[in-house]
Structure 1
Amino acid sequence: MQTKFKKSYRFAVNTSLYITIFITLLTSVFLFYFFEFIWYYVLGIMLFTYLFSFLIVQFRVEKFIYKRVKKIYDDLTLLESASLTKGAITTDMRTLTQEIDKYARDKKIEIETLRVREQYRKEFFGNVSHELKTPLFTVQGYIETLLDGAIDNKAVREKYLQRASKGIERLGYIVKDLDMITKLEVGDLSLNIESFNIIELVENVFDMFEMKANKKKITLTFDTDYDKPIMVNADKERIQQVLTNLIVNSIKYGRVKGTTEVSIENLIKNKVIVRVTDNGEGIEKEHLPRLFERFYRVDKSGSRKEGGSGLGLSIVKHIIEAHNEKIYVESEYGVGSEFSFTLEKAK
């Protein structure tokens, strides 16, 4: 399909005007000294000179510039420059310069983005490889030991099969969580939006992990007594998953005899903000920007002892964003952390 051509007359108009003024002045002086000065002769010469100059300059310059500018557009078309190829080809140098500058800036941003993504891709595949390799090698080691003869020893057999089972369970966590994140990212995981009492949901999560918290003597509590229900619109099952991840993390990294506190506050007219606060070990500021990345771990060794897939916070972020809501984190190392997210209030 032929590219549309946008003409520019500014150069021809200005150049023709300069030529006309010069020719008119020269002709006036010539007529004044050698012939009788007649103003309408001068006016006729001026109009003829201007029109003739304009046509010649416009035609020649347009043809000259168009050939070279079209080559630029064609070259940029090969580079798939959407911003230039969709528009008309222009011979106006200022407009062309602006378009080229914008194209260069966009390409620079695109290159930087690709570099960041490439680095993220490398880290992601490295993390996936490491996370899968650990339980796989563990299971493989136990099975090989059993095949080498340990299977005849009942005590060893049961112990190794239980450990192998835990390794398989960990692999299942990783695959399941990766599948969920993928579905959330591409929009394949549908949300079942309903109205429910967020206070009641938090209490249910507290009940689920009361025994886990008691092992570290951590108190699960609200910041105040909520006498009335607070109704929100969201996917109840997914929000329970969010609260589960946040509360489990607060227990996992909480200090012995510590506290995990949940508060629900009115944010604006139709929003509430849910805060999960602990007085655990906290997170250093350098880790906060990457905290919600897949497999990113603040504690590279200790966190693995606690199990899990390493995808919990990434899933939390995707679930909240799937609700078109926001999630925030504030933390001070050695003091504690606070994770908070917004939800829509039910009418």
Structure 2
Amino acid sequence: MNLKKRLILANASTVVIPMLITVLIALAAFFVSGKLSGHDISFEDYQRLSQIKFELLNSQTSILQRTPEVVEEERFQQHLQDQLAGINGELLITKEERVIFSSHDFSKIDVAKFLEAGNKTGRSEPVIIGDVSYTVQVISLKFKEGSPGNVFLLVPLNRSTANLTSFLVLICVTFILTFMLTNIVVSYQFSRSILKPLHNLQSAAAEISRGNLDRSIVEEGDQEIQALCRDFELMRIKLKDSVHTQLKYEDNRKMLISSISHDLKTPVTSIKGYVEGILDGIANTPDKTERYLKTIDLKARQIDQMIDDLLLYAKLDLNQIPFNFERTDIEEYLMLCLLESEPELETSNIKVSFHNELRQKQHVLLDRERMKRVIMNILDNSCKYMSKNEGELKILLRDTSTSLIIELRDNGSGISEGDLPYIFDRFYRSDAARSKGSGLGLAIAKQIIEGHQGRVWAVSHGEEGTSIMISLSKA
């Protein structure tokens, strides 16, 4: 339920429920009063009392609009009596506590009761004369000679009519009490449905502020509050991922510094050794000096290549290098890459063969320069770690329903099953080949292929070599 509907229902409940309870109690009061009094109480009884009071008010107004002396005239007295006769009322007129007209034979005691009732303003109890209860409406007059007088308008009431005031009080009190109680209950339920989720959300936010990102936030409450909880939960998850990523980057940074320091130390140490050999006169012939200088140049180039690979990997890892994709014929592209690498492969005594298993020409979206770096890195690895006198490198091209598969298979010493899952991690190399390369070649290749929305993995064939598999989506 959304918050708007809950508000509407809460406001409607505070009115509808008290009204229903009041109606039920009113019906119960009718029933019980009827059973106790021995007769049914009808709506007509209460309607009759309202009519009586209306008639009394009309009579009072008629008298006040005339001079007080008019009440002593027989014609006016008869008019008042006829007006009250419709509701079985009686008329009593006194002057200086002396009865000057009475439509019924009332005793002096009865008249005294009426006078007493008239003097007690605000009293609503009826005056009982014999077996009849009268409601008394008193109009005070001042005659011309200054004598005080009163006009008593008397209307007989049965028990049900006399209890109207009590019944109305009961109805009013019932409605007020049920209205207050319903408001308390509805307000409590409404506030609990809002405050409880907000309290839990506040507690979760406090935990997050203290660095506890493992406490999940449950969606509860109305739709709007559930949406708020859901957004907070997404924020918590992203913040947790961000913290974990930051910690991972920190660990990677430490590993990066450690690894690059180790890798730089070897060529730097070699350079220092050869420079000292030249300075100390160990390279005492021109040929020996030239050989020392060539070694120093080679080690410097290794350091330069290592730094370039490191910078490239860092930029790829931070997505700072944009890709320039072009629609490319994959067969033609691979042939060009092999032609550029052919001299180096021949120097390493590696025989290359290309096998195209495609049924028709296929195109992919490539950043030609970046993907060329991938192919070159893989071929370079094959050359560095080739353990046989006559090496072989096969490039196989085939396709599936949605992708193209490029397999680069060599016949080198292979990769152990324990090393296979980690060869695309940066700086990961087996101990036997620790000194070769920067350890970033395959890591850079993986970053570039993933930038093409592709996938790369390795398959070991034991002592028969290794296959590097590249999967790219068809254009």
Same-fold call, TM > 0.5?
A: yes
Distance in 2, Cα, partners of 1:203 & 1:106 = 45
Distance in 1, Cα, partners of 2:199 & 2:364 = 62
Q: Deviations over 1:162-199 (max 9, x none)?
A: 11111110011011112222232333333333344433
Q: Which residue in 2 is equivalent to 1:317?
A: 446
| Runs of 5+ unmatched residues, structure 1 | 1-5
SS of residue paired to 2:419: helix
Distance in 2, Cα, partners of 1:111 & 1:259 = 47
Matched, 1:57 2:157: no
Distance in 2, Cα, partners of 1:53 & 1:91 = 20
Distance in 2, Cα, partners of 1:184 & 1:66 = 44
Shift of 1:160: 1.4
Identity of aligned residues (%): 25
In the superposition, relative to structure 1, how do residues 8 and 254 fare at CA in structure 2: closer, same or farther (>3 Å)? farther
Partner AA of 1:331 in structure 2: S
1:297-312 aligned at under 5 Å gives the runs 297=429, 299-304=430-435, 307-312=436-441
Distance in 2, Cα, partners of 1:169 & 1:182 = 20
1:264 to 378, 382, 397: 397
Shift of 1:331: 2.2
Matched, 1:280 2:409: no
1:190 to 322, 339, 345: 322
Name which one, 1 or 2, has greater alpha-carbon Rg. 2
Q: Which residue in 1 is equivalent to 2:179?
A: 48
SS of residue paired to 1:223: strand
2:356–2:397 CA contact under 8 A, matched in 1:
no
1:296 to 428, 431, 441: 428
Distance in 1, Cα, partners of 2:272 & 2:194 = 74
Shift of 1:323: 2.1
Shift of 1:254: 3.8
2:328–2:364 CA contact under 8 A, matched in 1:
yes
SS of residue paired to 1:334: helix
1:259–1:278 CA contact under 8 A, matched in 2:
yes
Q: Which residue in 2 is equivalent to 1:137?
A: 269
Shift of 1:59: 8.4
SS of residue paired to 2:365: strand
Partner AA of 1:160 in structure 2: Y
2:374 to 214, 231, 242: 242
206-215 vs 158-167, greater mean Cα deviation: 206-215
Partner AA of 2:468 in structure 1: F
| Runs of 5+ unmatched residues, structure 2 | 35-166
The answer to which structure, 1 or 2, has the higher relative contact order (CA under 8 A, 6+ apart) is 1
2:213–2:240 CA contact under 8 A, matched in 1:
no
Distance in 2, Cα, partners of 1:268 & 1:200 = 21
Distance in 2, Cα, partners of 1:138 & 1:149 = 17
1:66–1:91 CA contact under 8 A, matched in 2:
no
Shift of 1:130: 0.7
Matched, 1:222 2:351: no
1:73–1:89 CA contact under 8 A, matched in 2:
no
Shift of 1:106: 7.2
Distance in 2, Cα, partners of 1:107 & 1:249 = 39
2:385–2:412 CA contact under 8 A, matched in 1:
yes
Shift of 1:317: 1.2
1:8–1:91 CA contact under 8 A, matched in 2:
no
1:327 to 426, 435, 456: 456
| TM-score (norm. length: structure 1) | 0.69
Q: Which residue in 2 is equivalent to 1:160?
A: 292
Shift of 1:242: 1.3
Q: Which residue in 2 is equivalent to 1:200?
A: 332
SS of residue paired to 2:400: strand
Q: Which residue in 2 is equivalent to 1:337?
A: 466
1:138–1:164 CA contact under 8 A, matched in 2:
yes
Q: Deviations over 1:14-50 (max 9, x none)?
A: xx9xxx9xxx9xxx9xx99xx7699x97985894365
Distance in 2, Cα, partners of 1:59 & 1:198 = 66
SS of residue paired to 1:286: coil
2:386–2:413 CA contact under 8 A, matched in 1:
yes
Shift of 1:216: 6.0
Q: Deviations over 1:229-274 (max 9, x none)?
A: 65443122222221111122233334523431111112235x4221
Partner AA of 2:399 in structure 1: N
SS of residue paired to 2:427: coil
2:415–2:462 CA contact under 8 A, matched in 1:
yes
Partner AA of 1:329 in structure 2: A
User: C-alpha root-mean-square deviation of aligned residues, in Å?
Assistant: 4.8
1:331–1:338 CA contact under 8 A, matched in 2:
yes
1:234–1:323 CA contact under 8 A, matched in 2:
yes
Distance in 2, Cα, partners of 1:195 & 1:64 = 59
Matched, 1:78 2:209: yes
Shift of 1:129: 1.0
